[in-house]
Amino acid sequence: MSEDFQDAMYREINYDKSKNKSSIIPSEEANIIGSAKISVEEDSHEGVKIILKKDEEENIKEIKFVCSCGETKSVILDYNEE
């Protein structure tokens, strides 16, 4: 019962898209680069969904706005100091 309220963590992978010509990614070409927590929130303005992608420390990595018409806009946040 307690696992019903836990947030799901998803593994993020990175691969070279130029080598891959199909929708299947061979395991030797995929690298796990971290994990993310994804939550969806409904906005009452014009049917916009807000998708938040967070890391293990609850830092928001990406904010995606999805309109009911199908258009999407993303904001990617980078916390690296360089």
Q: What is the per-residue pLDDT across 14-58, written as a single tens digit (0 to 9) for each?
A: 777 776 677 777 777 778 877 778 777 665 567 788 888 888 788
Pairing label, strands 72-76, 60-66: antiparallel
Average pLDDT over residues 59-80: 85
Question: Taking 70 as the threshold, does the pLDDT of residue 69 lie above it?
Answer: yes
Tokens 């898209």, located at residue: 17
User: Domain residue spans in the chain?
Assistant: 2-76
pLDDT tier, 6 (very low <50, low <70, confident <90, very high otherwise): low
DSSP 6: S
The closest of 45, 35, 36 to 67, measured between CA atoms, is: 45
pLDDT value, residue 82: 59
* End-to-end CA separation in angstroms for the chain: 44
At 48 the pLDDT is 82
